[in-house]
Amino acid sequence: KNQVEQSPQSLIILEGKNCTLQCNYTVSPFSNLRWYKQDTGRGPVSLTIMTFSENTKSNGRYTATLDADTKQSSLHITASQLSDSASYICVVSASRGNTPLVFGKGTRLSVIA
């Protein structure tokens, strides 16, 4: 069964600190993995997209890694800001076609002053 598991479920960190969110998946055959940021009451916004051959990708203070062998990904946030408070969702696609995406349940990050 195609599944995406994220950890931790929630996280509270102080402003300015770094954090790392984890994503494990069992989706096969693997096409690509995406990290989205979803603010409360808003639609998800893409942070990074990685294919099988990509190990790391950065977008500003966000850096995603992918280990296709172990089927694990991480999202590292550097020098967190209050505006980083949101849910971070890991999404895996099984193929390049229009097949349904497999969503993780997300990690709810709270950055406090």
Contacting residues toward other proteins, per CB under 8 A: 31-32, 34, 36, 41-46, 49, 51, 89, 91, 93, 96, 98, 100-101, 103-106, 108
Q: Are strands 62-67 and 72-77 parallel, antiparallel or unpaired?
A: antiparallel
Say if residues 11 and 21 touch (Cβ distance below 8 Å).
Answer: yes
Please give the full DSSP string across 38-59, using - where no structure is assigned. E-TTS--EEEEEEETT--EEEE
Nearest approach, Cβ of residue 16 and other proteins (Å): 27
Which CB sits closer to other proteins, 44 or 73? 44
Which CB sits closer to other proteins, 41 or 70? 41
